[in-house]
């Protein structure tokens, strides 16, 4: 039996910052955005939601995914990983809504999905009408709209922290702690479905003969069942698969990071390390692990605290040293 994500009600910004975020675990925030105008429109009818979105939408097109009825909403690679089981085409919000509504009464609908449409580009007035009470509006963040019908996204992780707010339809999130990576049978890290590596296991119908360790992942999984007005807080790097359960679904996401502005995704470091260390003998890999533990993961504390500040370099966060190393790294990669 998969555990349910912890549920909270009446959370304000002070409690969110004091309790929810520091806990580092997913949290259902029941009814957090129930008073948003877009949620009220969706509760009235799918047509009211569409009218609301059309009233805020620009004619900017975004990549959208379209899958034949045979995929049953599960967007994925084809068997040899050389392509996808769906088409990717540009569409505006207005066009997407038309296509979604055409499929509503079909017994075998085409799967339609548009993820992470930046509101600043596609519906700039929507955020002002539907503010996020838990985040400072001045914080640097990415706010995105998700539109589609009955679809499934493979288990993947996001680098930023995430507040996923359901606007229309029901959504089921299946979440796995970061350390379940070895049990999730992750696909290629350098050729992905949507930016981040994702599991190739069908979370809802796993093939345990092919993926036996996935049983261990399920034992550690948590599930969040959300309806319109509910939100889910997801810490950075938690794996999550999402099933949209209705013929018209919409969600707004808030993504943010607490890293310094100069930081880029550590995924690039991981891929570079895998490239440079893959062929090393086992004893050398073990030796390098000691260096990584010391300098990167700081298992013994600050590794340069014994040095004067002017000698701590990029490991100590010196901006000039970081810039010089970036140039050096770029030169080696060329």
DSSP designation for 206: -
Q: Which two tokens stand for residue 12?
A: 């304000």
- Of 58-67, 87-96, 155-164, 302-311, minimum mean pLDDT range: 302-311
pLDDT tens for 278-332 read 889 999 998 999 998 999 999 999 998 998 888 898 899 888 988 888 888 888 8
Q: Which long-range contacts (CB under 8 A, 24 or more apart) does 77-86 make?
A: 77/187, 77/193, 77/200, 81/187, 81/188, 81/191, 84/193, 86/111
The pLDDT of 171-197, averaged and rounded, is: 93
CA angle centred on 96, ends 249 and 202, rounded to 5°: 50
Q: Domain boundaries in the chain?
A: 3-256, 266-333
Listed in sequence order, the residues at least 6 apart from 284 whose beta carbon sits closer than 8 Å to its beta carbon are: none
pLDDT tens for 115-166 read 899 999 999 999 999 999 999 988 889 999 999 999 999 999 999 999 999 9
Q: Is the pTM of this model over 0.85?
A: yes
Listed in sequence order, the residues at least 6 apart from 138 whose beta carbon sits closer than 8 Å to its beta carbon are: none
Beta strands in 98-248 (DSSP E): 111-118, 142-148, 152-156, 161-168, 171-176, 222-226, 231-234, 239-244
Per-residue pLDDT band for 333 (boundaries 50, 70, 90) equals confident
What number does CATH give the domain 3-256? 2.60.120.650
Q: Pick from 65, 36, 54, 57: which is nearest to 121 by CA? A: 57
Do 186 and 213 contact (CB within 8 A), yes or no? no
Q: Pick from 265, 218, 240: which is nearest to 172 by CA? A: 240
Do 42 and 49 contact (CB within 8 A), yes or no? yes
Residue 38 has pLDDT above 80, yes or no: yes
Alpha-carbon gap, residue 246 to 242, rounded angstroms: 12
Residue 260 has pLDDT above 70, yes or no: no
**pLDDT averaged over every residue in the chain:** 93
């Amino acid at each position: 039996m998969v555990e349910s994500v912890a549920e909270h009600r009446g959370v304000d910004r002070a409690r969110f910052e004091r309790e929810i975020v520091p806990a580092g675990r997913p949290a259902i925030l029941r009814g957090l955005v129930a008073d948003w105008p877009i949620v009220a429109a969706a509760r009235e009818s799918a047509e009211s939601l569409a009218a609301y979105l059309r009233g805020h939408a620009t004619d900017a097109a975004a990549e959208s995914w379209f899958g034949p009825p045979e995929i049953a909403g599960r967007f994925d690679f084809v068997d040899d990983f050389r392509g996808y089981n769906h088409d990717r085409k540009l569409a505006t919000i207005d066009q997407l809504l038309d296509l979604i509504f055409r499929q509503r009464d079909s017994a075998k609908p085409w799967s339609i999905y548009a993820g992470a449409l930046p509101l600043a580009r596609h519906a700039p007035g929507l955020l002002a009408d539907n503010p996020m009470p838990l985040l400072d509006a001045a914080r640097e963040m990415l706010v995105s709209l998700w539109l589609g019908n009955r679809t499934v996204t493979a288990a993947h992780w996001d680098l930023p922290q995430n507040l996923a707010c359901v606007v229309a339809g029901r959504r089921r999130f299946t979440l796995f702690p970061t350390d379940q990576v070895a049990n999730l049978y992750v696909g290629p890290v350098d050729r992905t479905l949507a930016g981040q590596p994702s599991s190739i296991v069908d979370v809802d119908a796993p093939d345990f003969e092919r993926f036996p360790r996935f049983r261990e992942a399920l034992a550690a999984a948590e599930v969040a069942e959300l309806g319109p007005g509910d939100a889910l807080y997801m810490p950075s790097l938690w794996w999550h698969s999402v099933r949209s359960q209705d013929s018209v679904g919409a969600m707004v996401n808030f993504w943010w990071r607490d890293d310094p502005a100069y930081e880029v995704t550590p995924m690039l470091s991981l891929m570079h390390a895998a490239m440079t260390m893959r062929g090393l003998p086992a004893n050398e890999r073990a030796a390098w692990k000691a260096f990584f533990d010391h300098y990167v993961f700081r298992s013994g504390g600050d590794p340069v605290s014994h040095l004067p500040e002017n000698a701590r370099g990029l490991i100590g966060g010196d901006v000039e040293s970081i810039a010089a190393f970036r140039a050096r790294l770029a030169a080696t990669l060329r």
